[in-house]
Homo-oligomer: A and B are copies of this chain.
Amino acid sequence: MSTKFDANELAERCATAMFARDRASTDLGITLTEIGPGRSVMSMEIKASMANGDGVCHGGLLFSLADTAMAFASNSRNEVYVAIGAAIEFLAPGRIGEVIVAEATEEHNRGRTAAYSVALTDSSGNRVAQFLGRTYRVRGTVIEGSG
């Protein structure tokens, strides 16, 4: 079995374990499309209940999608990382009914700190938001017996 295969399989197992205990992301309807070591692609449909007073997706829920994509990418090697900070630029409105795709890319991972860019795009290819976040490794493993 190749190392690459193992790394991807480990990432998938970590993602499954994370989803099982992440009620917030589940409740938002976030789904996983792709997962690999240090990267993830996740989606969220903007429901009417996610609208803010302007009739578009609440910025905090777009942030939540990006933050979730970062968490899955950062915990994909069975080490536990927690988010310590992030910035987001809101570039275009997230309209009700749209499915927003978040693609998380690892910019850095060394020692106990990692950083991720997350691009949020709608079905027309418009960049809805761009996110930069940072995570920090703490004790423990995502799945048991594999640390």
Interface residues in chain A, defined as those with a beta carbon under 8 Å from any beta carbon in chain B: 17-18, 21-25, 27, 48-55, 57-61, 63-68, 71, 75, 80, 82-92, 107-108, 110, 113, 115, 117, 119, 126-127, 130-132, 134, 142
Contact = CB atoms under 8 A, between A and B. Distances in A.
Contacts of A86: 59, 63, 87-88
B52 A71 contact: yes
**Chain copies in the assembled complex:** 4
Contacts of A113: 84, 91
Top 9 closest A-B pairs, CB basis? A60-B64, A87-B87, A24-B58, A132-B132, A108-B127, A22-B53, A60-B67, A18-B53, A85-B89
A25 B113 CA distance: 27
Given A59-B86, A107-B127, 14 more contacts: A21-B55, A24-B49, A24-B52, A24-B61, A52-B71, A60-B65, A63-B63, A63-B67, A85-B87, A86-B87, A92-B108, A115-B130, A117-B117, A117-B130
